[in-house]
Amino acid sequence: MEISVRQGDSIWHYSQLFDIPANLIIDSNQSINPNQLSIGQTIVIPGFVTTTYKIQSGDTFWSIAQKRNLAIDALKLVNPTVNPTMLSIGQTINLPVRVTWRVVNGKEKYDYTKFQEDVRELLKIYPFLLAETIGTSVMGKNITELRVGKGSKRVHVNGSFHANEWITTPAIMSFLNDYLLSITNQGTLNSVNLESLYQTTMLSLVPMVNPDGVNLVLNGLPEQEPYRSEVLAWNNGSRDFSKWKANIRGVDLNNQFPAGWEIEKARKPNTPGPRDFPGTYPLSEPEAQAMANLTRTRDFKRVNAFHTQGQVIYYGFNDQEPPIAEVIANEYANVTGYQPVKTVDSYAGYKDWFIQEWRRPGYTVEFGRGLNPLPLSQFNEIARAARGIILASLYM
């Protein structure tokens, strides 16, 4: 919601007027010096939208404010050209409305288009949320990182490395929506103080690493060649892509990282296909390159890669993980009921590479049970588990 600065206004006044933490207003207006506001400057108030209202008989600014639990000055701010002493029946004014509802549904078919729509809506309502394109997929779709908070503790979460594990994307987006909703309404999630987390942490999210693959699983064959013909051939002529894990070039993105890649190369398929082909060399795919470059740039304290299925938390790699990794894994287990597992005969994954290169905690979390893709009937359970893990990763 946008307002225009008046004589004598301050960020502190807006914070009190709309009951929004001042730091969220400051972070939503990064190009403005909060100590030197100028008359006529546009300020964005996060967590609010405006709606229109037609004046009825007997209405006054005071009565409207009382009915809607608003300060009169809030009405004046969003109606700078309206004289409150000269209202006329049928006149249209603006009303500030605090957002108390979710933008992200989550429990629905969640392809790249839906993901981008939700990102745009969240950015509009919560402008302290930052979005950055960290790369593009094979077919040119933006790979989006979302960041919230400016603290020195940097935590990363990603989803949909594997196309048929797309349910991890709406689980991450649902958490983000709840986080933003709670912090602007000064609430809590799982009894965690979110204002403190916002101040001390920076949460980085890449909810959809593999957008081409997700669209293939959910929407079927792309129109664009050569991808249409290639994936159809690699899928043995079947138009059912529900089992497809790879990107659109038939490369398994979570077998792409230089952490024992040669081991996976020797025992996995040597040609493109629906799953497990590690590519012709490490980081050959633009999606994997984007994730590697992001990780090198951000200096994450820990990373969490969300997958399905099995209800397992993998936290080790070649005994290179620090001792705290097991402590955190046990806390993840406490909040989810999942089984922590240190060692597994698998290499070349994103968390493997992170542990190898930084000797910091990295996790692959397998949500849910059954056969991928998991049904939406498991979404609420997966979303609750994802919430617990992300919060634990931030506060520990």
What string of DSSP letters covers 300-333? Answer: -SEEEEEEESSSEEE--STT-S-THHHHHHHHHH
| pLDDT, position 154 | 98
| pLDDT, position 216 | 98
Model confidence pLDDT, tens digit, residues 189-198 = 999 989 999 9
Identify the DSSP state of 163.
G
Alpha carbon distance 156, 390 (integer Å): 9
Model confidence pLDDT, tens digit, residues 319-331 = 999 999 999 999 9
- 3-class SS shares of the chain: helix, strand, coil, % to 5: 40, 20, 45
| pLDDT-derived band at 286, boundaries 50, 70, 90 | very high
| pLDDT, position 338 | 98
- Where are any strands of DSSP class E within the chain? 2-4, 42-44, 48-54, 92-98, 130-136, 142-148, 153-159, 188-189, 192-193, 201-206, 302-308, 312-314, 339-341, 362-367
Model confidence pLDDT, tens digit, residues 345-396 = 999 999 999 999 999 999 999 999 999 999 999 999 999 999 999 999 999 9
Domain map of the chain by residue range? 2-98, 112-213+282-395
| pLDDT, position 141 | 98
Report pTM: 0.97
Greater confidence, 237 or 187?
237
Question: Which CATH number, 3.30.160.20, 3.40.630.10, 3.40.50.300, 3.30.1120.10, labels domain 112-213+282-395?
Answer: 3.40.630.10
CA 138 to chain centre: 21
Mean pLDDT across 170-182 = 98
- Mean of per-residue pLDDT scores for the chain: 97
Mean pLDDT across 82-106 = 97
Longest dimension (CA), the chain: 80
Alpha carbon distance 38, 40 (integer Å): 6
Sheet containing 153-159, strands listed edge to edge, beginning at the edge strand earlier in sequence: 130-136, 142-148, 201-206, 153-159, 302-308, 362-367, 312-314, 339-341
Question: Cis before residue 309, ω within 30 degrees of 0?
Answer: yes
Q: Is the pLDDT of residue 236 over 90?
A: yes
Residues noted as catalytic: 366
Is the Cβ–Cβ distance between 170 and 110 less than 8 Å? yes
Model confidence pLDDT, tens digit, residues 47-64 = 999 999 999 999 999 999
Alpha carbon distance 314, 312 (integer Å): 6
Name the one residue in this structure whose structure tokens are 């490395």: 161
Domain with residues 2-98, CATH architecture: Roll (3.10)
Is the Cβ–Cβ distance between 189 and 391 less than 8 Å? yes
Model confidence pLDDT, tens digit, residues 106-159 = 999 999 999 999 999 999 999 999 999 999 999 999 999 999 998 999 999 999
Model confidence pLDDT, tens digit, residues 23-47 = 999 999 999 999 999 999 999 999 9
Which residues, 6 or more positions from 198, have their beta carbon under 8 angstroms from its beta carbon? Answer: 23, 24, 148, 149, 151, 183
| pLDDT, position 193 | 86
Determine how many CB atoms are found less than 10 A away from the CB of residue 150.
Answer: 14
